[in-house]
Amino acid sequence: MRLKHFTLLLWIALFLVVGEVALEYRAKSRGFGTLLLSGRGLSGANNTAVTAEHGFGPTEDYPFRSRVVPVAKPAGTTRIWIASASYAEDRRWAASEIFPVLLEDELRARGHDVQVLNASSNAYSLATAAKVLHEEGPRWQPDLVLAYHFSNDLDELAPRLLAVGGGGAPNATESRGEGPDGPDAAANTDADEGTPRTEQERWITSRVVEATTAYAQAKNQFKARIVALRILTDRLPPALLDALEERVEAVHGEARALGADFVPVRFAVSDPTSSSGPMPIAYRNNLFRYNSYLSEQAWRTGVDDYNALLVELAARDGLDLVGLDAALSGNGAYFRDFCHLTREGHAAAAKALADQLEPLLAARANEEGGE
Amino acid sequence: MNFNSAEFLVFLPLVLLLNAALFGRTRARHLMLLVASYAFYMTWNWKYAGLIAGSTLIDYVIGLKLGGAQDPRLRRTLLIVSLCVNLGVLALFKYFNFFVESTDSVLTLLGLDVTLPTHSLLLPVGISFYTFQTLSYTIDVYWRRIAPERDLGRFALFVSFFPQLVAGPIVRASDFLPQLHHAPGALDGSRARVHAGMSRVFRGLFKKIVFADLLASLFVDRVFADPSAHSSLDLLLALYGYAFQIYNDFSGYSDIAIGAAILLGFHIPENFDRPYLSRNVREFWTRWHISLSSWLKDYLYIPLGGNRGGRTARNLMITMGLGGLWHGAGLNFVLWGVFHGALLIASRAADRHASPDAPGWVLFRDRFLTFHLVLFGWLLFRVRDMDHFAEFVGAFTSFSGGSVIHPAAVGLLGLAAFVHFTPRAAADELWKRWAHLPEVAQAAGYALAIVVLCGVSVDAAVFIYFQF
């Protein structure tokens, strides 16, 4: 066939491009950065969004979304490594507004010489956290390793452990948006399961594949509605908790290998089991955009099960345990969806963590002073 | 690279444009298609491209030798070499572990505690399909039905042509190779042909993404994952769901393959013809996976003696048992094949008493009965193993009520059934009207369909038949 016979293909391409531009224009007019119309370029002067605000990472030499510090650790400084996901990376807010940075500010204000390395990234899980710690940890020499994870591990593990997907395995690298309310929400997207990529690589991939407004809109329109029609599981299978335990232990093992203290962090959510009534529909839709197999009930009880697991592990292994659940869970002002924080939530999280870490830091200081 | 992936959405138009740009330059076009086919395959596992290349080279050489050899013993030896190599590779990758584990079980039953070694090699995608394709070529040359192909490039393209490489339809050399010998321009098409190919591709994508994947993810997979936790009603719905899932999955793939081939200027044979409308199991096998059933008939059943010499039943059982084994190395697949073999034998006996002028209710009864016999076969096909089968049957025979399946999911199942059972004339009329719309309107429809299909494609699942 000759090229002239393929005008149908060209028309289809034209419609897709026009539709894309129109949607992006709409998004742009609402204040979102978009694939084609925003200044979120990958090079030159427009690269500021990727490298974040002045003084904060990630940069080429500094892979963390926190205040840039040199690799060499000053004597007497305690380095706190925060291994988390979008909850702590949270590109919705400026770097100066997210809880790892606020935690550093809070602890310094209380007289502690600390540096917080925010090794959190969208879609990271405990499995990824262990890898990143293994690869980057020796260079940055953390003293405390805080692991704040749950939902991404749940989403990774559930399809396999629920033995679904007989007609073909579900895609393990589903896209993951940041929030329910805009094209920008889907811009920060996934890394392959357990495979950390550089910030630049992730951004390029997300830009090409996922940040397309039409694609993101289509996903947003359909996925949560479809998942709501499924037979969903109401309780985490025991094997899933076993797998979570293995993952927590893997991060613990990496921290121990670096000579750092491992501090698991109990998970906080907008709607814990104690809260009455169903989750707000927007939150539930957002939950179902990420998780395709567990019901709202399973999510709530799953968080309880996971937090109980951390308590058990901490008791068994003699670990210090901190948590954001008591301070944050169930407080609507602190959450912008089912697990991501508002500005107020980040501030409250930083304060809660500082309160709980202070005795640990004091104890460490005493130990070092004694030595 | 799945047909239902973003990569294929880029790959296919690119190949189409290159194919069109090379119009009139036949050799360059064939070379481009060959490179594209290997690239397509290598996205699955680049190492296994060597297997296809090796199989291609061996059958090409054997075909040439067979063409020139007159000595019957030499010809038979060459054929046996081809059979041994092709089936040997297939057996190594697909059946070795199954036979070793089965032997282990037998030895354990006999009181011998022996553990035989197994391998952990991945099954090359599409190996069952391209092996049967190359075998049919060698056998046809042996039988002097076709002349050997002298051009290695053309032969390699026949074996690896990407639209049907991974999951069929199984194309015969006698159908495909002549299309490569046409003089430049002979395969010239038109806009109508592009439209026909495009509509076929979209029909396939719709079947796969909307029916097959959604039925699987909404309830079929969940119910089959834990049969004892579900009511009899849900188990029945899941079985119906699986029947339409596997049909839409496989026929959807075939539609995309046929549509892509049309767009590239080729014809590959139909593989499905609304199989659940069959009046008996014999008819079912003329409507389901047509390219495999005709392959088994021509290259296994008839050489075994067919229905001559009073050995029809034996030959049917062997053919269908091996047909079951072709699908997968598992006892359930063999039993599925044997079950269909038994149904075919029964069907032949019943045919003798069948009246050609049966009233409508008899037609309905026969279709209903045939569909439900096939449905039982799908249960054997879908289960993980015989314990899983027993669990499903045990739970089903509790005859418990209630359902956790969302009504909308049942509605989707009903829609899939409605589309399947819609008279062909009505469906053809709809497509004819669509084809008469202005090109711009069609393009707008396709663009919208792409966006919707992207959104609906919640868990991009691989095609079921890729595992075979």
The answer to whether B213 contacts chain A (CB < 8 Å) is yes
Strands A78-84 and A144-148: parallel
The answer to whether B239 contacts chain A (CB < 8 Å) is no
* Three-class HEC string of chain A: CCHHHHHHHHHHHHHHHHHHHHHHHHHHHCCCCCCCCCCCCCCHHHHHHHHCCCCECCCCCCCCCCECCCCCCCCCCEEEEEEECHHHHCCCCCHHHCHHHHHHHHHHHCCCCEEEEECCCCCCCHHHHHHHHHHHHHHHCCCEEEEECCHHHHHHHHHHHCCCCCCCCCCCCCCCCCCCCCHHHHCCCCCCCCCCCCHHHHHHHHHHHHCCHHHHHHHHHHHHHHHHCCCCECCCCHHHHHHHHHHHHHHHHHHHHCCCEEEEEECCCCCCCCCCCCCCHHHHHHHHHHCCCECHHHHHHHHHHHHHHHHHHHHHHCCCCEECHHHHCCCHHHECCCCCECHHHHHHHHHHHHHHHHHHHHHHHHHHHHC
- Give the Å distances, CA to CA, from B314 to A53, A315, B307, B317: 77, 67, 9, 5
CA within 13 Å, CB half, B215? 28
Round to whole Å and give the CA distance between A268 and B64: 71
Interface mutation target, options B221, B226, B234, B380, chain A, most CBs of A under 10 Å: B221
Encode pLDDT of B296-348 as tens digits: 999 999 999 888 877 888 999 999 999 998 888 888 899 999 999 999 999 88
Q: Measure A62 CA to nearest chain B CA, in Å.
A: 33
Encode pLDDT of B359-405 as tens digits: 888 888 989 999 999 999 999 999 988 899 999 999 999 888 888 89
**Pairwise CB contact (< 8 Å): B20 & A223:** no
Using a CB–CB cut-off of 8 Å, the residues of A that contact B are 1-3, 5-9, 11-16, 19, 159, 162-171, 174, 209, 214-215, 217-223, 226-227, 229-231, 292
Residues of B in contact with A164 (CB under 8 A): 217, 221-222, 225
pLDDT computed for residue B9 by the predictor: 83
pLDDT computed for residue B205 by the predictor: 92
Q: Which residue of A has its CA nearest to B250?
A: A167
pLDDT computed for residue A51 by the predictor: 43
> Residue B460: which of A1, A6, A171 has the nearest Cβ?
A171
Answer whether B374's CB lies under 8 Å from B281's CB: yes
The answer to whether B443 contacts chain A (CB < 8 Å) is yes
The answer to whether B190 contacts chain A (CB < 8 Å) is yes
> Residue A7: which of B404, B439, B454 has the nearest Cβ?
B439
Residues of B in contact with A226 (CB under 8 A): 214, 217-218, 456, 458
Q: Please name every residue paired with B350 in a beta bridge, in sequence order, or none if there are none.
A: none
DSSP state of B1: -
> Residue A209: which of B6, B442, B464 has the nearest Cβ?
B6
Interface mutation target, options B412, B434, B453, B458, chain A, most CBs of A under 10 Å: B458
| Residue B459 pLDDT class (50, 70, 90 cuts) | low
Q: Which residue of B has its CA nearest to A165?
A: B221
> Residue A229: which of B225, B409, B459 has the nearest Cβ?
B409
Q: Measure A226 CA to nearest chain B CA, in Å.
A: 8
pLDDT computed for residue A193 by the predictor: 37
**Pairwise CB contact (< 8 Å): B442 & A8:** yes
Q: Which residue of B has its CA nearest to A233?
A: B222
The answer to whether B387 contacts chain A (CB < 8 Å) is no
Q: Which residue of A has its CA nearest to B229?
A: A233
**Pairwise CB contact (< 8 Å): A164 & B221:** yes
Residues 245-274, chain B: which have Cβ within 8 Å of A?
A: 245-246, 249, 263, 265
Exposed e or buried b per residue across A290-327, where buried means at least 16 C-beta atoms within 10 angstroms of its C-beta: bbbbbbbebbbbbbbbbbebbeebbeeeebbbbbbbeb
User: Which tokens hold the place of A287?
Assistant: 């939950």
Answer whether A262's CB lies under 8 Å from A140's CB: no
Direct distance between the N- and C-terminal alpha carbons of chain B, in angstroms, rounded to an integer: 16
Q: Measure B379 CA to nearest chain A CA, in Å.
A: 13
Q: Which residue of B has its CA nearest to A9?
A: B443
The answer to whether B20 contacts chain A (CB < 8 Å) is yes
The answer to whether B364 contacts chain A (CB < 8 Å) is no
Q: Within 10 A of A70 (CB to CB), how many other CB atoms are there?
A: 9
Q: What percent of chain B has pLDDT over 90?
A: 57
> Residue A292: which of B23, B439, B458 has the nearest Cβ?
B458
Round to whole Å and give the CA distance between A129 and B27: 52
Catalytic residues of B: 327
> Residue A16: which of B189, B198, B450 has the nearest Cβ?
B450
Domains assigned to chain A: 67-370 (3.40.50.1110)
pLDDT computed for residue B251 by the predictor: 94
Low-confidence ranges of chain A (pLDDT < 50): 39-52, 165-200, 202-204, 207-208
Q: What are B410-418's contacts with CB under 8 Å, separation 24+?
A: B410/B237, B412/B210, B412/B211, B412/B214, B412/B215, B412/B218, B413/B215, B413/B237, B413/B240, B413/B241, B413/B244, B415/B211, B416/B211, B416/B215, B416/B244, B416/B248, B417/B240, B417/B244
Q: Does residue B195 surpass a pLDDT of 90? A: no
Interface mutation target, options B207, B211, B222, chain A, most CBs of A under 10 Å: B222
Q: Please name every residue paired with A80 in a beta bridge, in sequence order, or none if there are none.
A: A116, A144
Does ipTM top 0.85? no
Q: Which residues contact B196 (CB under 8 A, 6 or more apart)?
A: B259, B262, B435
pLDDT computed for residue A32 by the predictor: 64
pLDDT computed for residue A190 by the predictor: 33
Q: Does residue B185 surpass a pLDDT of 60? A: no
> Residue A167: which of B21, B216, B226 has the nearest Cβ?
B216
The answer to whether B461 contacts chain A (CB < 8 Å) is yes
